[in-house]
Amino acid sequence: MRILTLNYEYPPIGGGASPITRALCEHLAAAGHEVDVVTMGFQNLPWREISGNVRVIRVPALRRSMVRAETPEMLSYVLSALPPTLALVRCRRYDVMHAHFIVPTGILAAAVRRVSGLPLVITAHGSDVPGYNPDRFRRGHRLIAPAWRLVARSASVIVSPSIYLRTLMQRVCHLPVEIIPYGFDPPPLRQRERKRRILFVSRLFPRKGAQYLLEALAGVSLDGWEITIAGDGPMLEQLQAQAQHLGIPVDWRGFIKGAPLEELYASSAIFAFPSTNDNFPVVLLEALAGGCAVVTTNVSGMPEVVGDAGVLVPPRDVPALRTALLQLMNDDTLRADLSVRARARIARFAWENVTRQYLSLYQRVAVKTRQTAEGTHR
């Protein structure tokens, strides 16, 4: 198949959905399919390149940060990408178009579909769904609600990585949504001695819950345990001040990725992620793959990722989080058992299976679109 992929962010820029998009594209290309990506340019990134057998086309945009984009920056991508995307569609004869995020990317995809008639798959990732993110976009979602429904209904099919996110979407708009989880191929298990370390990895937004982790550790005798927070974001200075006020020594690693991050997971005993709201957190997949004993919350998409391979606590419940952390810190056998379960759990999300599900979906929507077009012309 020849697949056109649209996402306003693609590595090396962007958060969790960005590397997920790249991984899917590269697995599709490895399976023998042609994949073109139209994404947002940034600083000195090349305008065109072949990466992982995927052709990546970047368009000018107003983006200022590698980590996150503001609404005007996202819209600049939509406007800038429309002419070159239409030109690609005219000359490349794609079988299917796959957009990541209902907004902003779905706006671009809906416009292209209106002109080209291409079958359109849209994967939602969280921040593009009303009600998902209390930190950002609440007012924006209210303003664009009619346009959001129009874009969602323009798709041949909407995909959600989790049941939780599908439920949110169907509260806003009655439309069928298919579940395809994020894929993840874990790196080879590193035989590292587990340090007595509690690790937190995430962008530092309020809903990610690092502040609750610090509160839970206040007054706890660490007795050789170290606390590591890896990530960057608008709460960094606030969290650093909180840790200092509470007298908690924290190893602040900033934004890291690749081998250094894998090493952290492989050598940490406990991974804590007390998020109040998340779709299908990639950091949980990474922690499971690293064999950490995981403690996270029992809401939104977290239970769907962790299953029985972690300890679940209510969100914002600092006493419950403290109890869970102390239990893990004091029970070597429980940590070892959860580590084994984590490696078994991650096998469910192998990219081979996820890629196969997407290919089946592409073929179905392509056939349905073709049959509809043939019926219209009879």
Instruction: Give 257-316 pLDDT, tens digit per residue.
Output: 888 999 999 999 999 999 998 888 989 999 999 999 999 999 999 999 999 999 999 999
For residue 171, which amino acid is it? Answer: R
Q: What is the mean pLDDT of residues 32-57?
A: 97
Strand order in the sheet with 226-230: 250-252, 226-230, 195-201, 268-273, 293-297, 310-313
User: Percent of the chain at pLDDT above 70?
Assistant: 96
**Do 27 and 121 lie in a common domain?**
yes
Instruction: Confirm whether 156 is domain-assigned.
Output: yes
Residues 262 and 290: beta-carbon distance below 8 Å? yes
C-alpha–C-alpha distance, residues 40 and 21, integer Å: 13
User: Is a pLDDT exceeding 60 seen at residue 136?
Assistant: no
| Residue 39 pLDDT | 98
Q: Which of 137-141, 259-263, 373-377 has the lowest mean pLDDT?
A: 137-141
DSSP secondary structure letter of residue 314 = -
According to DSSP, the residues that pair with 299 across neighbouring strands are none
**Do 283 and 359 lie in a common domain?**
no
Domain assignment of residue 327, given as a range: 195-348
From the list 118, 97, 102, the residue with the least C-alpha distance to 6 is 97
User: Is a pLDDT exceeding 90 seen at residue 30?
Assistant: yes
For residue 151, which amino acid is it? Answer: V
Residue 44 Cα to chain centre, angstroms: 25
For the domain that residue 18 is a member of, what is the CATH number? 3.40.50.2000
| Residue 321 pLDDT | 98
**Do 173 and 225 lie in a common domain?**
no
User: Is a pLDDT exceeding 90 seen at residue 193?
Assistant: no
C-alpha–C-alpha distance, residues 246 and 250, integer Å: 11
| Residue 74 pLDDT | 94
Instruction: Confirm whether 220 is domain-assigned.
Output: yes
Q: What is the mean pLDDT of residues 111-118?
A: 96
C-alpha–C-alpha distance, residues 279 and 160, integer Å: 9
Structurally, the chain folds into a number of domains equal to 2
The pTM score is 0.85
User: Is a pLDDT exceeding 60 seen at residue 378?
Assistant: no
**Do 356 and 309 lie in a common domain?**
no
Instruction: Confirm whether 366 is domain-assigned.
Output: yes
Q: What is the mean pLDDT of residues 101-111?
A: 96
| Residue 137 pLDDT | 56
Instruction: Confirm whether 362 is domain-assigned.
Output: yes
Q: What is the mean pLDDT of residues 185-205?
A: 88
Which is it for the CA torsion 249, 254, 255, 261, positive or negative? negative
Q: Which tokens hold the place of 210?
A: 């690092």
Peptide bond before 12: cis, by omega within 30 degrees of 0?
yes
**Do 357 and 230 lie in a common domain?**
no
Instruction: Confirm whether 253 is domain-assigned.
Output: yes
**Do 235 and 308 lie in a common domain?**
yes
User: Is a pLDDT exceeding 80 seen at residue 189?
Assistant: no
**Do 41 and 163 lie in a common domain?**
yes
Helix (H) or strand (E) holding 37: strand 34-40
**Do 356 and 341 lie in a common domain?**
no
Q: What is the mean pLDDT of residues 105-114?
A: 97
Q: Is 296 left (phi over 0), alpha (psi -120 to 50) or beta?
A: beta
**Do 28 and 9 lie in a common domain?**
yes
Which is it for the CA torsion 39, 41, 45, 47, positive or negative? positive
Instruction: Confirm whether 25 is domain-assigned.
Output: yes
Q: What is the mean pLDDT of residues 94-103?
A: 97
Q: Where does the pLDDT of residue 138 fall: very low under 50, low under 70, confident under 90, or very high at 90 and above? A: low
| Residue 376 pLDDT | 61
Instruction: Give 64-80 pLDDT, tens digit per residue.
Output: 988 788 889 999 999 99
Strands 120-123 and 96-100: parallel
| Residue 70 pLDDT | 87
User: Is a pLDDT exceeding 80 seen at residue 110?
Assistant: yes
**Do 215 and 330 lie in a common domain?**
yes
Supply the mean pLDDT for the chain. Answer: 93
E-strand stretches of 274-325: 293-297, 310-313
User: Is a pLDDT exceeding 70 seen at residue 377?
Assistant: no
**Do 232 and 104 lie in a common domain?**
no
Instruction: Confirm whether 188 is domain-assigned.
Output: no
**Do 132 and 242 lie in a common domain?**
no
C-alpha–C-alpha distance, residues 70 and 137, integer Å: 9
Q: Where does the pLDDT of residue 335 fall: very low under 50, low under 70, confident under 90, or very high at 90 and above? A: very high
Instruction: Confirm whether 232 is domain-assigned.
Output: yes
